Every structure is written in structure tokens, then in C-alpha cells.
Structure 1
């Protein structure tokens, strides 16, 4: 059954339009009816529409007697951790890496994103007629507990002090306050950009989808490392003076360290079907098995939880360190990488010198009918492309779960073959899917 509201990462859409106060109010009611919680917690990023949506969800839930804690601006991983620790439903108002005009609603069930059947149950209530009478209103209060509990957790990790010079880009988003507070505990030598949110500049030429900003800062300050987060703080990409390290490479760094310390459970990592085939071969050389899931961090999370693995993620930068926190956390991952390099006295380049990455391209095709992927000519072309690419390659063509476009991803050790295949597919999809 297709879902009406939920995509790959919660409910998302243009704020004040598709995603308005009425829909958010209905989500609050649905949460109250489906989960019957005594209390829920709501966090948000820095978009100018986030207050409206947070208060509307709170109103819907409290109308049915649910108490609501408003955490205001916190990162998604902070909210998820609090949700787990308090065994509570958590709601995060964010559109992650999208521009400020968009927003979204992510629901966490005791620290973890809902499964498909739970999202369908919520959707069913959203579309029901609203009938409320003699309501026993729940109490709505502000709370700083989410931040306090998150900071207290880091004290249990015993992370080392570091002399590495570090730059961080907080994307004018949800980590703009918490990231420097955490780094100041372990480093006296860090720089921050993307730390002046105004409601409209979240992800604007900064953050993990605009790496030029952190690359420039790393070069300007001669930093050893640069960490760039997305708008809600659950995604991270890393740079040094010469190179960008994506999510696959970050997982490689951490998994290699855990394997050396005999801390990698079942000697397995979880990646998605978009992961580079070269890195899968590199993991095999380390004696590390790879479990592949569909694209979407909720699928990665479910695979990790179901099988008790230590780490998994997406090459976009969602990295879950399951032995530490229940969701992707850019700040935690960046401090863990800092720990690895500080302990080993190695650079990112030297730590990853044996890592083989195949050429890979991702092309986003806009202004096309996304249903064209079921066209027989497209299906035949994909079969031909698979044969031409052969083994140890990647071919993934899919509708975006968060934006109206088709994503085509191809990876192959021979860049000429890669370019030939992806050009042919993109041209065909563009031609057949052209909107009239």
C-alpha cells in the first residue's frame, strides 16, 4: 500500500502550503490516538516555519490529553536519544538538508524511526474526521532536558583531548549551538561557520550539501579536519586539505578502527544499495562483511537493530553508531573520527590509504514524470546497462523520496564505461519522461 504523507524520511513538503498547521495538528492527534502516550517531546531546527509546525503538533496531541515537552532548537540525534532514554514518542520538525521553504515532521518511537506499518496507521488517523469533545487538555511546557541529557551522555564516552586543528560547518541549522559546546570540551583549536541562523539561511551555501564553504575554511585556517553537518545534524561529510570523505568512507574509517579493537559486532557493516562497489571490496579485504539495504536511514537502522550490528549508514553521510546512539549523529561521528586520528597519530589520508573507491556519478533529473520508470523502454535499457556494467558495479535508478526528481547513480572501475552508461540512461529518461 502506497503512503500518502510519509516519504523515506518522515512527512516533508513546502511549509505553509502542503505542510501547514492543519496537517501538523492532525499529526499530533494521530500520534495521540495511535500510540496513546502520556507525554511526547518535540524538537525543531532553525527554519522560520518550525515554530508553527511544532506548536500545531503540540496542540493536536495536547487536545487529547497528552502532555508535551517543547525542546525548541535541538538536533535530530539529540531528540532521538532523549526519546529512547525516556521511552517516549519524539517528534522532530525539520526538512534536513532541504532549503528553508521546505519543512518536515519526523516521528521517533522510543528513539527509532517508525516502520512502514506504523506510518500507515498514523496516516489513517490523519485523514479521519476530527471529533473532539470534553477534552482533558495536556500540559505544554518548555524543557532543556534534551540538551542536558545529551551533554551528560558524552561525559561517559571518555573522549580524548586533541591537538588537531578542526573546522566545523553547522549549516545555520540545529547543531549551531550544541556542536561548539561539545567540541570545546575536547579541543582548544577549532573554528565554526554556518552559525548565524536567521530562519531562511539554513543549508544556504553551507552544510553537507554545499561543501565549498567547509573546504574553503579548512584551507584558510590550515585545519587538519573539516566536518560539515546538514540542517538537522544527523548527516556529516568530512574534508581535509585535499579530499572529501563521504559516508561510505567515514564508515570505513570507523569500522576499521572497531575491527582492530575487536569491537565490530559480527564483523559486519550495513550500507545501502547506493554504496560504492570499490568500498565493498575494501571491506572484504579487511575481513568485514557488508549487508546492503534499500536507500533510507530507517532501513539501515532496522537492519542494524534486527541483527545487532555496530555501525551502518549511507554515502550521503547518515552514519549510525548503534553501540553509542540510536540515530545518525554528525557531532558524535566527527568526535569519534577525531578520537581515532588522535589515538593512532595518523591523518585521514594515511588511515584510508588502502581504501579503493571506484568512479561514481549521481545525476538528478528534474522536470520529468517520475512514473516513467515503469515504461518498458526504460526497463529494457536498465537490463542492458546491467549487462554492460557487469559485476563489481553499481546501477541504481529511483524516484527521490524527498524531492520531485529521478536519481540515476552509476559506479564502475572504468570511468569511460560509467560515462557511456549513465549518459544513455539519463538521455532516455529525460526524453520519455518530459512533462507536456
Structure 2
């Protein structure tokens, strides 16, 4: 097939502007592109994928004839978007290696092992009416420093595609592939349910490192499969290491435990419905621990039955992702792995700070999102030549290894992208070997508990206005900071249990430390119309209450104030120079 962008006919500038208005441009969030399925047209996905590959070409990481690995989750829109991405790879002179339905970390691991770029089509944990595209270079995830170059190349590719006269374009007026081109692009992909060799490589990554006796005999867990793309792979990994995995294909209260339809499972903001499934299955089958993953299986969730006085009670809890990461490094130490440095987002549980300080572990706190913790990992590695083990994780549980690890004479290669399997394996091993219930193990940590949730369908511009309203123009101006603290006291009320604001952190959004030790962290999402609220408190119930109050009372009030302030600002006449 001829490269269709090799020859094009330019429209007038006004015509290009009209097309820009008709088709919404996809935007980068904290890690990749995301939008509604309606906005992720064939043309828009094609343009963005071409822009990424053009950027790789400029950086010397892609040339004609190179292979690009492609994968996706189980969303109904994923295959169609993959087809547009595959067409872009082909159109740029690349070879499409369709790995099918595989976890994001499995695809990234496969691509890095084979020195190739990869593109994963996934919306992670968000609902099925949305999706996304995640780009990975040969060396790993794209960083924020890559985005300007990628966006510039996307801009150039957009002009090329928009400039092709309609009769010569592969797209119709709605941005969909013309029917005559669809069969050709379909040939670039394998069957929708295909799973490529990247899955076996990912399984062997853990099987060959830990061996079939990693878990003692009698280790048994429940796996909630839902529509997680890695459900079968994770089951095989645990079983290959000696664990028994209970993964029934049944329904509980009309909810299938293994679903053909996409189920959005958020491992950071865990729903009561999800916890209810775990509670029933664990109790009915006399199991103590259950696990699951999000849609593209790079974020883990571990749920456990509570114990009191050595006996299980009628309740379940989950280990938040930040604490799961903390337990993972403690578990790695038990395997004689030296932990030299840790990188976590500023939203993580502050008990991590205390434990790292006690153990002499270098700690970096970053903005929220894997590109930021990866950049911090890279900085740490560059600053410490020689043997230096660096780890990172996010509050959603995704765990990253920045350096190769020597475990029992075997080498576990670095995987600097979110991984769900390693923290689950290590923490499960720690629990089993400690011969303690999870409740007892959690009690050995500082009594600091986190919770997070989000206000959905929240306009992004209002979210930004809220942060602007609570941000001083000069962070060193004490008088201005006191005004901000007064604004905070007007919405975080004493009657709701809040103390006086003591410290403000603007690393990402605004993180408020009150004089009673509690924390409320407000932040607009970087890639979705959502406003997030994170909390840290002395009990899990209080952390949940802080978030509930934030979403029900504080954020709506701040939104109203921010709207009024924005309107007033717009009405203020500008002085002319």
C-alpha cells in the first residue's frame, strides 16, 4: 500500500481551522492519551500514533522496517483503536507486532527485551465509554520531557492528514476509515482475543526468578477476574510459584466474577460493590486473601479478611497501593534485596517517609503519575553509579523497578513501568512467611491510613480554578499564605473535625497538613474530567470521612467560590500599557 502521506493537497488555512473545530484533538494526561470513545476517531488515533513514531524517528529510535509492538485491553473499543494505530505504524514504514490482549507491563517488558517501541491501547480503570493510548520507547515509558517533541510531531502530522483532499484521503468526513481501506488495515492485526508471546515472556520473568516452591504448600488465594486483561496470566504466575488460585467463573448477585463485558475496577478508589464481592467469596470459601487488577493489569489490589483476637470477623479491608508498595520493599529486604532508594508521589501515605528515614533509604517525593516517579528513579540512578537498587510505586499500587535485582542467584531485570504482579507476589510471600494475619502485619506499621476518591464529570477548568484560588502568587509571602489558610478554614470546618492548616504543599495540586496531623490533598485529574481528593489520618474510617466530606461539602463549595472568582476576574477591566 502506498504511503498516503507521501503526496497531499493543501487546503486553505481557513479550511484547516474548520477541521480542527470539527475533530477534538486528544490530549496527554499523566501517562498517555485519554478521551471518550466518540472523540477517539480513526483519524485522531492515526494522527497521534504517527506523531509518536515521527518523534521516535527524530530521536533515532525508529527507522523504516523497524517493528513496533502493539497490545490492548478488553474494552469493546480497543480493537478498533488498535487498527488505527496499526495503520499508522504501517504508514510510517514500520512492522506491526500485534501481541493482542496482554497486560501493559507484559507488553512493555516484551518491547524492552526486544529493543522496540510499543503502543498499548487502554483506558486503564476508567469506564468503557472512554479509552486511551499509552506510548513506550525502547528504553521505557515516555516522560514529560518527551511530550513537547511528541506534540510538535503530532501537530505536523495533523496538518499533513488534514491537507489531503477528500478524494485522496483514507478517512471520511466523520474521521472514520473509508470502507475500502478497512480490510487492508484489519490484516495488520490478529484475532481480537489473541494473546502473543509477550505473555509467556512475562510469566517466565517471575517463574524463572522465584521457582515453583516460592509459596509454601497450602498457600491459597482468591482471584477476582472480572475483565482484567491479565486475569489468566496472573493466575498462571501464582500457580507456577506454588500457590493455589481460586478463580471461579460464577455470578454473585448478578455480577459475573469472570466477565466478557468490560468492568471498570479502580484499585485506588475501591467501590463498596467490589469489596462486597471479596467479602462474600472469602467468607464462603474460608479464604483470607483475595487479589485483582485493573483493566490493563498494571495496578494491583489486595483485599483481606479482618482478624480480631486470632479469629476472622465479618469484614474485609484492602491494602492501599502506597502501603502495598511499602510492604513490598519490606518483603524484598526479607529476600536479602538491599533497598537503596525509593520514589513515590506526594499523595502517598506519609508513614513511608518515617520508615525510609529509619532505614536510611533515600526518598524522593514527586508529582502524581508514573512519568514523574520514573524521572526521579532515573535521577537517583544517575547520581549513584555502581550497585544501587531503586524502586518506585504509586498510590494506585503500580510498582516499578529501576535496576536489575539479584534474587537467590537469579536476575530479575529492571521493569521501569507500572507492574501489578511483583508487589502482589512479594507481599503475599511476606504474609505467608510471617505466619501473621494481614491485620497483624498492618499493625506493625505506623498508624497512618489513606483513602482516595474522585468527583466525576467535574469540569477541568473549574478544577484548575479551585487550585488557583488556593494558591498564593508568591509561596514565600507569609501574609499571602495566611490569607490562603484563612480560605481553607472557611471550607474545612472545625465542626467536621478539621484542625487549623499548618503546612501547604503545592507539588501537585494542594496538600494540606492540619495541626492535628490529618491531611487532605485536592487535585484535578490530569487526563479526565475528575477532581480527586486524597486523605491521610490516624484511622481508616477517618481517612474515608475526610474524603467523603471533601467530595460532598468542601469541593462543591470551592467550585462555587472559584466560579465567582473567575467571573469577577474576567469582568475586571485590563489596564492598557
TM-score tier, shorter chain, comes to 0.7 to 0.9
Residue 50 to residue 141, structure 1, CA distance change in 2 (3 Å) = closer
For residue 285 of structure 1, report the CA deviation from its aligned partner. Answer: 3.8
Partner SS, residue 407 of structure 1: strand
Alignment of 1:219-368 (within 5 A): 219-242=283-306, 243-266=317-340, 268-308=341-381, 309-322=389-402, 323=404, 324=412, 325-366=415-456, 367-368=458-459
Cα contact 2:105–2:418 (8 A) shared by 1 = yes
Give the Cα separation in 1 of the matches to 2:96 and 2:126.
Answer: 27
Partner SS, residue 160 of structure 2: coil
What's 1:147 paired with? 199
Cα contact 2:32–2:132 (8 A) shared by 1 = yes
Residue 225 to residue 419, structure 1, CA distance change in 2 (3 Å) = closer
Matched, 1:91 2:119: yes
Partner SS, residue 127 of structure 1: helix
What's 2:384 paired with? none
Alignment of 1:32-431 (within 5 A): 32-36=53-57, 37=62, 38-110=66-138, 112-128=140-156, 129-130=159-160, 140=188, 142=190, 144-159=196-211, 160-162=214-216, 163-187=218-242, 189-192=244-247, 196-198=258-260, 200-203=261-264, 209-210=270-271, 211-212=274-275, 213-242=277-306, 243-266=317-340, 268-308=341-381, 309-322=389-402, 323=404, 324=412, 325-366=415-456, 367-368=458-459, 369-376=462-469, 383-384=485-486, 385=488, 386-387=501-502, 389-390=514-515, 393-413=518-538, 415=542, 419=546, 422=550, 425-431=554-560
Cα contact 1:270–1:290 (8 A) shared by 2 = yes
Give the Cα separation in 2 of the matches to 1:166 and 1:61.
Answer: 41
1:273-302 deviation per Cα after TM superposition (whole angstroms, max 9, x unaligned): 111223432443444443211111221122
Give the Cα separation in 1 of the matches to 2:189 and 2:73.
Answer: 18
Give the Cα separation in 1 of the matches to 2:197 and 2:554.
Answer: 50
Q: Which sits farther off after the overlay, 375-384 or 326-335? A: 375-384
Give the Cα separation in 1 of the matches to 2:269 and 2:205.
Answer: 25
Give the Cα separation in 2 of the matches to 1:208 and 1:373.
Answer: 22
Cα contact 2:141–2:416 (8 A) shared by 1 = no
Corresponding residue pairs, total: 427
Matched, 1:23 2:84: no
Matched, 1:432 2:561: yes
Could you say what the CA RMSD is over the residues aligned between the two structures, in angstroms?
A: 3.3
Cα contact 2:370–2:394 (8 A) shared by 1 = yes
For residue 393 of structure 1, report the CA deviation from its aligned partner. Answer: 5.0
Partner SS, residue 108 of structure 1: strand
For residue 348 of structure 1, report the CA deviation from its aligned partner. Answer: 2.5
Which runs of no fewer than 5 residues in structure 2 stay unpaired?
1-24, 169-183, 249-255, 307-316, 382-388, 405-411, 473-480, 489-500, 503-512, 568-577
Residue 221 to residue 286, structure 1, CA distance change in 2 (3 Å) = farther
1:290-317 deviation per Cα after TM superposition (whole angstroms, max 9, x unaligned): 3211111221122223313432212222
Q: Which sits farther off after the overlay, 33-42 or 87-96? A: 33-42
Matched, 1:11 2:64: no
Residue 235 to residue 44, structure 1, CA distance change in 2 (3 Å) = same
Give the Cα separation in 1 of the matches to 2:48 and 2:556.
Answer: 40
For residue 70 of structure 1, report the CA deviation from its aligned partner. Answer: 0.6
Residue 99 to residue 205, structure 1, CA distance change in 2 (3 Å) = same
Cα contact 2:229–2:296 (8 A) shared by 1 = yes
Residue 42 to residue 239, structure 1, CA distance change in 2 (3 Å) = same
For residue 365 of structure 1, report the CA deviation from its aligned partner. Answer: 3.5
Cα contact 1:61–1:68 (8 A) shared by 2 = yes
Residue 250 to residue 66, structure 1, CA distance change in 2 (3 Å) = same
For residue 360 of structure 1, report the CA deviation from its aligned partner. Answer: 4.2
TM-score (norm 1): 0.86
Residue 204 to residue 313, structure 1, CA distance change in 2 (3 Å) = closer
1:326-364 deviation per Cα after TM superposition (whole angstroms, max 9, x unaligned): 322222322222233344444333333321233545453
Cα contact 1:360–1:411 (8 A) shared by 2 = yes
Q: Which sits farther off after the overlay, 352-361 or 270-279? A: 352-361
Cα contact 1:21–1:53 (8 A) shared by 2 = yes
Partner SS, residue 326 of structure 1: strand
Give the Cα separation in 2 of the matches to 1:392 and 1:264.
Answer: 31
For residue 378 of structure 1, report the CA deviation from its aligned partner. Answer: 6.6
Point out the structure with max Rg over C-alpha: 2
Cα contact 1:370–1:406 (8 A) shared by 2 = yes
Cα contact 2:29–2:528 (8 A) shared by 1 = no
1:172-230 deviation per Cα after TM superposition (whole angstroms, max 9, x unaligned): 121122122222213452212666443x4232699974432233322222223211210
